[in-house]
Amino acid sequence: MTLAILFGGSSFEHEISIVSAITLKKVLKKTALIFIFVDANREFYLIDSDKMTSKTFSSGAYKKAKKLTLEQKGFSFNAGLLGGRKALDFDTLLNLIHGRDGEDGKIAGMMEFYGINFIGPRVEASVLSYSKLNTKLLASLIGVDTLEYQLLYKDSNRSIDLKYPVIVKPVHLGSSIGVSIVRESSELDYALDVAFEFDEEVLVEPFIEGIAEYNLAGCKTDKWELSLIEEPQKEEFLDFDKKYRDFSRDARVKEAKIDNTLKDKIETAFKKIYNPLFLGSLIRCDFFVVGENIYLNEINPIPGSMANYLFEDFESLINRLSKALPKEKKISIDYRYIHSIQSAKGKA
């Protein structure tokens, strides 16, 4: 299999996506890889494997690479005066663009429109998981609990009803960008100013000291393929810098020491969230546990470095997932309705 990795994008998480792509180059050692970079202007570039370094992008050297054009069934590039345009040959594309473009449905819509096989959330899944508010509404509908919250708008009243401490989160961002912990009312305005720099909508949730958190990734091929459950390192929360380093992980982590009852609860909640909305993608869900109760913290529809570190054989999993992608129903258009109208007008 030849796998095209699409990364970059016009997103606050652009650099995180580059880190993820470089990490997957290390992880997917047996798979033929093609790297397609989307720059801040949403231009596509074919990046040679040996140029997959952070400096290639930070220096702007990627602009010397072949520019690609998106078209039916794939991408093409200019092969020279005599060669015309040449198709880029690959079997499946992996959407590795974090945040806007990759997770909001734009790339999913383009891939479906152009008939390209791809691993990643489809349009509906993207719309529901890109927004932290929509995620909470989805969870409520399928019977998965979330923490209580309050939604604030940039031009709205800034008073909140929740007890301190609270955590402030931009609704449409990941990687802990714009997130702050607020311990008293005097700190709220500054935290909201920071969050509103990135988004027009902000969620405020209770911040629970020392809360137990567990991460589970997985997908469905012809069977459920779930990762080990990880208990992340104990921090107040993972800020951008910590997550930046976290996204470059390529070694398998240790499994959380939890009993089978809790494991079953987490896996059951994950399956409710995943099926059927996220078919065709590999996602990671982060859960809080308070006493006997499981709460969904967030859905990562395109997790950093695809959460490879949670799987025993990530490369084989990606191969199996690429063969179990949902197919869009083919619609046959025969203009029967228009022909019938034309015939009726002719008789008249």
pLDDT in tens, 72-126: 999 999 987 777 899 999 999 999 999 999 999 999 999 999 999 999 999 999 9
* Domain-located, residue 236: yes
Percent helix, strand and coil across the chain, each rounded to 5? 35, 25, 45
* Domain-located, residue 183: yes
Give just the sign of the alpha carbon dihedral 103, 104, 106, 111: positive
Q: What is 255-311 written as a DSSP string?
A: PP---HHHHHHHHHHHHHHHTTTTTT--EEEEEEEETTEEEEEEEESS-GGGGGGG-
Q: Say whether both 38 and 173 belong to one domain.
A: no
Instruction: Supply the pTM of this predicted model.
Output: 0.90
* Domain-located, residue 175: yes
Question: What is the pLDDT at residue 9?
Answer: 97
Contacts of 105 (CB under 8 A, 6+ apart): 123, 126, 127, 130
Q: Domain of 251: which CATH number?
A: 3.30.470.20
Q: Say whether both 132 and 247 belong to one domain.
A: yes
* Domain-located, residue 77: yes
Q: Say whether both 250 and 136 belong to one domain.
A: yes
CA distances from 227 to 26, 149, 155, 271, 295 (A): 20, 29, 42, 12, 19
Question: What is the pLDDT at residue 234?
Answer: 59
pLDDT < 50 positions in the chain: 348
Q: Report the domain count for the chain.
A: 3
Residue 19 structural domain? 2-119
Question: What is the pLDDT at residue 342?
Answer: 84
Question: What is the pLDDT at residue 177?
Answer: 86
Residue 33, token pair as written in the block: 């890889």
CA distances from 25 to 19, 29, 276 (A): 10, 7, 29
Q: Say whether both 162 and 200 belong to one domain.
A: yes
Q: Say whether both 42 and 86 belong to one domain.
A: yes
Q: Say whether both 171 and 214 belong to one domain.
A: no
* Domain-located, residue 81: yes
Q: Say whether both 180 and 220 belong to one domain.
A: no
Q: Say whether both 296 and 317 belong to one domain.
A: yes
Question: What is the pLDDT at residue 245?
Answer: 57
* DSSP reduced 3-state for 108: helix
Query: ∠ CA 297-119-56 to the nearest 5 degrees?
Result: 90
Radius of gyration of the chain (CA): 22
Q: Say whether both 140 and 164 belong to one domain.
A: no
Question: What is the pLDDT at residue 348?
Answer: 47
Question: What is the pLDDT at residue 343?
Answer: 85
